[in-house]
Structure 1
Amino acid sequence: MPATSLPFLVLSRAGFDDIAARVDLGKASLFLNPGLLTETEIARLRERGTVVHVMATTVDPGKAQDVQQALLLTRNEAGGIWVERSAPRSVAAATDQLRPLDTGVVPATPLRRRLAHGAGALASAALARLRTPGRGRRLMVLPYLGFGNTGRVWVKGRLLDEADFREQDSADSGWQNLVALYRRLESDEVAGARVLAHFGGATHATETDGGGYFAFDFVPPAPLAHGWHEVELEFPDSAGPDGGTLRARAGFKVAAPGARFGIISDIDDTVLWTNVTNKLNMALMLARSNHHTRKPFKGVAGFYRALRDGITGNEDNPLFYVSSSPWHLYGPLVDFLKLQDIPLGPLLLRELSVRQVLKIGEHGSHKLEQIERILGFYPELQFVLIGDSGEQDPEIYTEIVRRHPQAVRMIYIRNVNPDPARIDALDGLIAEVSATGVQLVLSPDSVFAAAHAAAEGLIAVDRLAQVRSDKREDDLAPPTKAGL
């Protein structure tokens, strides 16, 4: 009998009954098809100590693609998950070191074998291969949008083996989206490569770390004008497509002198619906959709444009997006913002491996660190903080108020968790924040937040009509393939 700490993917009632007869469910973690058990049965399981996850999307045990996606998103660090025998044998072949549960369930194959079988040998020999730079390799630079002030610049990027990241479109199937997501998560990073940043006649040097990332935080030779600038990146030991030295450019923006405040926004369940409170459902959504088929929360685009423009209409207030999504998704997220006409700004994401993508335990520390970085660049600005109630945004923003009460102008929290216990906790945070003179506003949607922002003098009153119009257009838009 296997260790009951392994998770179980349960697709049918017969499969559940078989597992229940063989293992101690009080020590198990179950991923269930919706409707498989009654609410009463789920409540009793949880009372026994069972960890129960009900998937938002039904997994058809007869469809290999459905089961492959579920396996990708539920497998644990040990590399295995137990699946019903009814799953296709090509998906649930017993090639792991795990032992099957007699006749009830069989273990899943490792992630790279499952995807190689289903997608034509996409995976490589190992999940995390560190590379060293060299002239004989074709490399790819991914520069990220940076930011700065008149006397300081921050830019970041990553160096990878050149990969075939095909552009996605609205016609892509769920399986094609899954393959594209896997390719991004399973990129081959280049460690220990020299990187030079040339700007304003000065040169700064660093090396890529174990994940292939590099960052520069430097003082320019002369004060900078507001607007967009570019840093030239050079990789002296790496060859570009033309055979010469590999080069790239990283853009960064200096905040406008007329900016009255900055905006720091979460992405997951704040701008983009991801169901971040359920990691499996969030990852299923990412796997089955792309930036063409995902949709923002209704009215977000109009609200964020109004915040950027401010009460005068031309303040050019800077926006920053801080998220626990991995840097691997940077490109699709930028494409999403552009496609939805949501104001672009630097994205500060999280360094994650493919095995950690569903583990957001350090969500709070990552966001605090990045928000502190932003505040350090703009000590003269107050900030509007925008997040959701699904995870720790209210707690993180409250901590920022404790540390920097003068730096926060307003907090807007989208209410996505109706649990009474969560609402009670938010009431306590609202009271704590209010005692400092800052408002924490629990908002049902963007129109409500925009109306409040107009009353507080953050946006022009005449922009409310545009936010309402955006929301109506989103209401009337046809549902996407991803069900968003």
Structure 2
Amino acid sequence: MANDWKNKASQIIEKVDDSFDLFMQRFRNRFGLYKPLQIVPFRSYGTVNRLYLKGRVLANKGITSAADNDTLLKNLVNMYRRFESDEVRDAQVRINFQGQEHAVITDREGYFVINLEPKTPLQLEDIWHEMEVELVHADISSFEPGIKTEAHVLVPPPDAEYGIISDIDDTIVLTSATDLLKMSQHTFLNNARTRLPFAGVSAFYRSLQLGRNGKRNNPFFYVSSSPWNMYDLLHDFLDVNDIPAGPLLLRDFGLMQNKFFGADHMSHKFKEIQNILLTYPHLNFVLIGDSGQQDAPIYQEVIKKFPGRIICVYIRDVNIEERAQMVTTISEELKGTVEMLLVKDTATAAKHAADSGLIFHEEVQKVEEQKEIDKSDAPGTATQQAPAPLSKDTKKRA
């Protein structure tokens, strides 16, 4: 009975939401209120036989690039613009890749999704593959032809040693997801440059990307419960802090069915991780998360469903006793199968990774050094240095 009520309520909300969105699109068109349009392609992933691409067509709200001296008001306005998005439904999008054109239509939330089969074998020297995305037509008053952008799709090379699947919130960057007020402050009042990563994260992640073959081609995948509206901020945060680029797998946000009721943190993350492991059956993975939410039980379920595929798990301790105890309990249950470590900092994880043969022992010192630099950059210190410039390798990756 409860499920029947939930399904009916979801259907009603979905219809109301869809009707309102359609009304607003017509209203903006009628009075010429639409901003110029833009294509927002999301970093995606694929294989030598199939490339998956997802993106969105939106009105360009003029979200400005992040700067170190941005005011709290400017950050708040930009965040408002992210969530007060004007999506463009039924837009015609064309993807150009290897001399072939592929057409796709956006859904009622402005998203487009397409799977492409490469015409010729991919060159796997680089893990990123570019394709051109063009907005062909949209029934919007502000539409102008010629809107194009580049999309990037990751394909792990055959000699990748392992992949890394990482959470973002409270794993890479402080979010305080267990405290609603603090989480709102961190999320809405900061930008890609003022949100600093946890000490040593960038060096540790680069060491995992480097692995032991020295080719820096171990692929990263970032799975988060943050909504797609946050994509540009998280994308820029990784790049600004020289954290390895990877597909960002976020969550739909809205009143649509299965987004308003029951679309919880656990089901979203498990589904995305499952899809990654199914896509790459011959690649094993390192999982990284935190003790703040449900990463440990999610990863436990992944280990059960994909025996032998997970090398080890690192869980960052957020210093909440009952959450730490949950991780410890799960770690004991997994003993003899997969090692799940509750770690206080990235240096501890790096030492374990080196002892386990995942990274070079020389990298541990680099993580320690980066940790001290990051600590000196943290708010409240005497000086706050500008973020390190992107390395050539990072720029090449995407």
Do 2:174 and 2:186's aligned partners in 1 also have CA atoms closer than 8 Å?
no
CA distance in 2, matches of 1:167, 1:330: 13
2:25 paired residue among 117, 121, 131: 131
Change (3 A) 1:375 1:326: same
Greater relative CO, 1 or 2 (CA 8 Å, sep 6+): 2
- Partner residue of 1:189? 87
Answering whether residue 343 of structure 2 is matched by residue 443 of structure 1, we say yes
Runs of 5+ unmatched residues, structure 2: 1-19, 385-398
Question: What SS class does the counterpart of residue 65 from structure 2 fall into?
Answer: coil
CA distance in 2, matches of 1:219, 1:240: 34
Do 1:152 and 1:377's aligned partners in 2 also have CA atoms closer than 8 Å?
no
CA distance in 2, matches of 1:144, 1:358: 23
- Partner residue of 2:189? 288
CA distance in 2, matches of 1:162, 1:478: 33
Do 2:91 and 2:105's aligned partners in 1 also have CA atoms closer than 8 Å?
yes
Letter in 2 for 1:464: V
Please state how far the C-alpha of 1:234 moved relative to its aligned partner.
3.0
- Partner residue of 1:399? 301
1:456 paired residue among 327, 333, 356: 356
1:476 paired residue among 371, 376, 388: 376
- Partner residue of 1:264? 165
CA distance in 2, matches of 1:145, 1:130: 29
Bigger CA radius of gyration: 1
Question: What SS class does the counterpart of residue 165 from structure 2 fall into?
Answer: strand
Question: What SS class does the counterpart of residue 406 from structure 1 fall into?
Answer: coil
CA distance in 2, matches of 1:357, 1:293: 30
Q: Percent identity among equivalent residues? A: 40
Question: What SS class does the counterpart of residue 73 from structure 2 fall into?
Answer: helix
Show the 5 A alignment for 1:71-470: 131=25, 138-226=36-124, 227=126, 228-238=128-138, 243-353=144-254, 362-419=264-321, 421-435=322-336, 437-470=337-370
Question: What SS class does the counterpart of residue 275 from structure 2 fall into?
Answer: helix
Do 2:196 and 2:378's aligned partners in 1 also have CA atoms closer than 8 Å?
no
Please state how far the C-alpha of 1:322 moved relative to its aligned partner.
0.6
Please state how far the C-alpha of 1:359 moved relative to its aligned partner.
9.8
Do 1:388 and 1:416's aligned partners in 2 also have CA atoms closer than 8 Å?
yes
CA distance in 1, matches of 2:186, 2:176: 8
Letter in 1 for 2:251: R
Question: 1:208-242, CA deviations, whole angstroms, 9 ceiling, x for partnerless residues?
Answer: 12221111123222331222222222332238999
Runs of 5+ unmatched residues, structure 1: 1-125
Please state how far the C-alpha of 1:341 moved relative to its aligned partner.
1.2
Please state how far the C-alpha of 1:130 moved relative to its aligned partner.
5.7
Count the aligned residue pairs.
355
Structure 1 stretch 387-396 or stretch 200-209: which is displaced more? 200-209
CA distance in 2, matches of 1:130, 1:365: 32
Question: 1:34-93, CA deviations, whole angstroms, 9 ceiling, x for partnerless residues?
Answer: xxxxxxxxxxxxxxxxxxxxxxxxxxxxxxxxxxxxxxxxxxxxxxxxxxxxxxxxxxxx
Question: What SS class does the counterpart of residue 384 from structure 1 fall into?
Answer: strand
Do 1:194 and 1:208's aligned partners in 2 also have CA atoms closer than 8 Å?
yes
Question: 1:165-214, CA deviations, whole angstroms, 9 ceiling, x for partnerless residues?
Answer: 12231111212211110011111011122323232244333321222111
Q: Normalization by structure 2: what TM-score? A: 0.82
Change (3 A) 1:418 1:404: same
